[in-house]
Structure 1
Amino acid sequence: MTILFEIKKNYELQKVTWKEKDILVNTDCGVKQIRIWKDRALLDWHVRWRDEVGKNSLAVADRMIRTSEGKPWVDMGSEYLTLHDYVEGTHERSGHEKRWGLLIGNMLQAGLELQEEFSSVTKEDHYSFDACLAAIHKLSKEYNELVSVKNSLPEANKRLNLAMELKKASSHVPLPLFDSDTHMNNGGQIFNILFYRGSDDYPEHGYQPLRRLLTEWLKECGPYSLRKLLTCINEHFSLEREQGYLLLAEILTPWELQDCVVQLKNEELAHIVSYVKSFEQDWDFNRILLHCFTDWMDDKRKRVAL
């Protein structure tokens, strides 16, 4: 009852009831989503990030609804409450690259502008090829199904070395912060507006979340649509120079190998075959993603030369 009372009081609403306890509420202004925050620094990041991303009329994030006093949150003592508009369903992807490109470009621009101020609230996933190598060597003694995983190691090592060279060459370039839980299914639609449902997680420093999103796009929409999306992103955030090389480094880093190792360590024999097959598919899709992105960058360079 306390949460409902605080929402009703602070947002001057007449009706507030649970639609889904601790997640969604019915109000006289429609269904709203609530979030509870314990980390004030993390909350400050999400307030600023959502506000910056939403500075246009065609693609917005689920910014914090302001209270009657103009605050983006309600102080609940040991935690904070925020209220957000809520939209069910997802926004179409293929054929709507321009709108998604605007959203992602604004996400990148906001993340770059805020990266210095909020560097203390980030999380980073460090890649260790040596750890993957040791784990696969150990697992291959137990399971005979890891032939394709073992065969990928030389290419994975080559990719990682290229990625490290690119990162070293661009070590002076700041990386944007990006919402770590970024997925296409988080995009909903209100009339003709792309409405993005952000997370409450710590942002990642770098391009790994975008790489995951581009992979999702490739799997669903294909290479042609992906190239269109990259062009549309580039209209709002340049991927042609240093930032593009840093994204390329992230695509080169063989994360799919590390993801496979983590899954294999935690599962029983019955799941091994399915995870190896999933790895093979991810490996092939990443090759296509790498090919699409490098072709796109080459095409941009040729256009500049002309």
Structure 2
Amino acid sequence: MLSLVDIQDSYGFKRASWKVEGDLIETEKGLKRIIIWSDEKKLRWHLMWRDELSKRTECLCNRMIQTKVGERVLLTNAGWVTIHDEVTTLFSYKGREKDFGEFLGKYYSSKISGIDVELSDETFNKHARQWSNLNSRYHFPKENRFLLKKLQREAAKRLDVAHTIIEKQDMPVPPIVSPIRSLNQGKNVFEKLYWENRSLPPEKGYRSLRLVLLQWLQRYGPDSVRTLLKYVDQHFPLKKVHGTALLVECLSPREFILFLQQIESGSPESFKVAYEELKRQWDTTCELVKLVSEWADLSREKVSV
């Protein structure tokens, strides 16, 4: 059990109380998040990643707060513990394509290797075989069957197009980054971006970049995405190097695969939620595929979804 007294003594807080036990504490220096790490290698990778990200981008991020004796990791009976500033005000990206594009480009061009740490490999080839059963029979409700069968065929087609592109093109070495699960990881501190890294295994591939672009497209529209990509490209060469790999990632039918996984063991109510989310994500993904293909001048691949 993690001791609040040990934390207070080690970090020199005058007062500390649990806001969420084992997770968040209130102190005279503001709200602090507690992270308990079971994997020391992953912890050491995140130490290097956050140092490098702050250095490269000059952006605030949730780096590890030092103890009274200058250590950034506290070894306890519960495991390795780190403490971080917790910021709750969300950052507004509207009109900030240049700033966030530069941040994202430097984020993806960081050179922290994934050697000697367990990676989450999200590259297309890692999952292609798993996705190859898209044409298998699934029992869809009668009232939704027509649309779902149509999306199932289109998902298989997207998979085929992605395979064809890979066979024709030399794929670049994929980046390794701290995974992004939401644009809401961007927080506001004095009108500046404060980036909240998650304590997940480092991710190999373009899955997080696709997610960022999808959410950006939903929030701000296609013209804003094109502008964002232009500024990302200035620091992470999308058009000349990584554009084809990003297009393959966008073609990957992740939203349909996720839907199938959710309905396999879900209730009728969870089916409705998953179905509505699939429809929403599907149209946005198809729009993103077309946008990325045209922006990166990859129309020669004859991408059609």
* Interval of TM-score (by shorter of Structure 1 and Structure 2): 0.7 to 0.9
Secondary structure at 2:26's aligned position in 1? strand
Change in 2 beyond 3 A, CA 1:2/1:138: closer
Secondary structure at 1:156's aligned position in 2? helix
Q: Is the 8 A contact 1:218 1:226 kept in 2?
A: yes
- Structure 2 counterparts to residues 28-47 of structure 1, below 5 A: 28-47=28-47
TM-score, normalising length: structure 2 = 0.86
Comparing 67-76 with 187-196, greater Cα deviation is found at 67-76
Which runs of 5 or more residues in structure 1 are unaligned?
Answer: 300-306
Question: 1:117, 1:186 → 2: CA distance?
Answer: 26
Q: Deviation at 1:56?
A: 5.0
Please tell me whether residue 133 in structure 1 is matched to residue 135 in structure 2: yes
Secondary structure at 2:18's aligned position in 1? strand
* Aligned equivalent of 1:245: 244
Q: Deviation at 1:104?
A: 1.7
Amino acid at match of 2:54: G
- Structure 2 counterparts to residues 56-205 of structure 1, below 5 A: 59-77=59-77, 79-110=79-110, 113-118=111-116, 120-124=118-122, 126-127=127-128, 128-134=130-136, 137-140=137-140, 143-168=142-167, 173-205=172-204
Question: 1:118, 1:295 → 2: CA distance?
Answer: 38
Q: Is the 8 A contact 1:13 1:28 kept in 2?
A: yes
**How many residues are matched?**
294
Amino acid at match of 2:26: N
Question: 1:2, 1:156 → 2: CA distance?
Answer: 47
Amino acid at match of 2:267: E
Secondary structure at 1:132's aligned position in 2? coil
Secondary structure at 1:14's aligned position in 2? coil
Secondary structure at 1:229's aligned position in 2? helix
Question: 1:227, 1:181 → 2: CA distance?
Answer: 20
Please tell me whether residue 295 in structure 1 is matched to residue 284 in structure 2: no
Amino acid at match of 1:247: L
Please tell me whether residue 221 in structure 1 is matched to residue 223 in structure 2: no
Question: 1:257, 1:285 → 2: CA distance?
Answer: 13
Q: Is the 8 A contact 1:17 1:26 kept in 2?
A: yes
Change in 2 beyond 3 A, CA 1:266/1:99: farther
Q: Deviation at 1:219?
A: 0.8
Comparing 250-259 with 94-103, greater Cα deviation is found at 94-103
Amino acid at match of 1:63: R
Aligned Cα RMSD in Å? Answer: 2.5
Q: Is the 8 A contact 1:36 1:79 kept in 2?
A: yes
Secondary structure at 1:194's aligned position in 2? strand
Q: Deviation at 1:204?
A: 2.2
* Aligned equivalent of 2:254: 255
Q: Is the 8 A contact 2:36 2:78 kept in 1?
A: no
Please tell me whether residue 20 in structure 1 is matched to residue 16 in structure 2: no
Change in 2 beyond 3 A, CA 1:82/1:171: farther
Task: Using the aligned pairs only, state the percent identity.
Answer: 28
Q: Is the 8 A contact 2:87 2:188 kept in 1?
A: yes
Question: 1:29, 1:108 → 2: CA distance?
Answer: 32
Secondary structure at 2:133's aligned position in 1? helix
* CA deviations over 1:235-290 (Å, ceiling 9, x no partner): 22111122221111100111121112112212233444453343222211111111
Q: Deviation at 1:92?
A: 0.4
Question: 1:282, 1:56 → 2: CA distance?
Answer: 33
Question: 1:22, 1:3 → 2: CA distance?
Answer: 9
